[in-house]
Amino acid sequence: MSNSSPALPKSNRFTKHKGAREWQERVIEFVLFLAGFSCVLTTFAIMEILVVESWHFFQTVSIVEFVTSKDWSPLFEPPGYGILPLISGTLTTTAVALSVAIPMGLIAAVYLSEFASGKLRETVKPILELLAAIPTVVYGYFALLLVIPILQWLYSFVGPTLSNIFPAIFPVEMSGFNMLGAGVVMGLMITPMISSISEDAMRAVPNMLREGSYATGATKLQTALQVVFPAAISGIFAAVILGISRAVGETMIVAIAAGLQPNFTFNPLDSAATMTAYIVQVSLGDLPHGTIQYQSIFAVGLTLVLITLVFNILGYFLSKRFREIY
């Protein structure tokens, strides 16, 4: 032991238990470390499984076809393996969801953080959190059996006219499965998450900045939008990026309500399959291990992970770039 001088007798009462106790502490620390390391292993396992199965997949299918063809029909003869239709479905539903969730989430966050009384905030926040906790399969039901019928009814007033003018974009009747309905419900689902994280970021802005703004004669809205919002922008970016990855990875709502036919389109009124919906569709059937269709879901999964990774990296740099020290 470095800190006990050699002159001390072995049974000194200060050193007697030191060895055993240190050994015990080290074992505990090592066990805890292993638990933490399981996360690293999980990431590696995910990448290993996805890459290995995708590797087998790309032995049969050329990568060029995969990323450029607009035909995704692995379950038909002849099969097509172009992932673009699945990507267009994913991006369209995500865009619809975000155009609902970003304005709603941010308005709610600004209101709760800067306008609402403490009491109202403490009441509303947990209820909004409940909205985020409802299982996605229930949201799927909600989209298919409530929201889409309402949208269809609303569309029946404008659809015939619009389809006369722009027949390529607007169908006469809205289909019972479409990306608009799925996207809107997805947006409602991620609104509380965006609102809650942005609100936390805005509440973390020190009060002295608000007072500085009020002292110059600013209104609440001016203070909120011109001082608090910019000061919290890094956290708000993080919330939006999290919302995007949630929307890109969301499965059940789109599997239930967006239809399952791959369709290369960015028109939200169409029905289409997303990457996640395709994985579910294949998994529902009984595909034997080792077939090309079985491998295809891993290739799609790998694409999905890479896309969310891109968004996460983007978010990381955005928050870093705009991180403010107040």
Partner 1 sequence: MAPAELSAQSLSPAHNAVSRRQLISSSFAILGLLVIFIALMVLLALVTSLVLQGAPRLNWKFFTSFPSSDPLEAGILAAWVGSVLVMLTTMLFAIPLGVAAGIYLEEYAPKNWLAALIEINVTNLAGVPSIVYGLLALGLFSQQLNLGESVLTAGLTLALLILPIVIVTTREALRAIPNLLREAAYALGASRWQMIWDHILPYSFGSILTGIIIGMSRAIGETAPLITIGALTFIAFLPPLPIQPEFPFISFEWLTAPFTVMPIQMFNWVSRPEQEFQVNAAAAGVVLIVMTLTLNGFAIYLRYRFRKGVKW
Partner 2 sequence: MVEELSLPKLNFPTTDLKAEVQDLDFYYGTSKALKNVNMSVPARKVTALIGPSGCGKTTLLRCFNRMHDLYPGNRYDGQIMLDGINILDRKVDPIEVRMRISMVFQRPNPFPKSIYDNVAYGLRVQGLTKRQAVDEKVEQALKSAALWSEVKDRLTESAYALSGGQQQRLCIARAIATDPDIVLFDEPTSALDPIATASIEDLVNELKQQVTILIVTHSMQQAARLSDYTAFMYLGELLEFNQTNVLFNQPAHKRTQDYVSGRFG
Of these partners, partner 1, partner 2, none, which one is at the site of residue 165 (CB under 5 to 8 Å by kind)?
none
H/E stretch holding 11 reads none
Nearer CB in complex with partner 2: 224/252: 224
| Residue span 284-323 as binding mask against partner 1, x where in contact by CB under 8 A, dash where not | x-x--x-------xx--x--xx--x---x-----------
Taking the C-alpha atoms of residue 281 and residue 84, their distance in angstroms, rounded to an integer, is: 17
Among 4, 25, 156, 320, the residue binding partner 1 under the rule CB under 8 A is 25
CB of 292 to partner 1, least distance (A): 15
Q: Which phi and psi (to 5°) does residue 65 adopt?
A: -60, -40
Among 141, 214, 264, 294, the residue binding partner 2 under the rule CB under 8 A is 214
Determine contact, residues 269/168, Cβ cutoff 8 Å.
Answer: no
| Residue span 118-157 as binding mask against partner 2, x where in contact by CB under 8 A, dash where not | x---------------------------------------
Among 303, 315, 290, smallest CA distance to 88 is for 303
How much is the CA Rg of the chain, to the nearest whole Å?
27
Nearer CB in complex with partner 2: 70/121: 121
Nearer CB in complex with partner 2: 190/233: 233
In angstroms, what CA-CA distances link 128 with 133, 141, 199? Answer: 9, 20, 12
Among 52, 82, 50, 113, smallest CA distance to 239 is for 113
Taking the C-alpha atoms of residue 319 and residue 72, their distance in angstroms, rounded to an integer, is: 36
- Interaction between residue 113 and partner 2 (CB under 8 A): no
CB of 226 to partner 2, least distance (A): 7
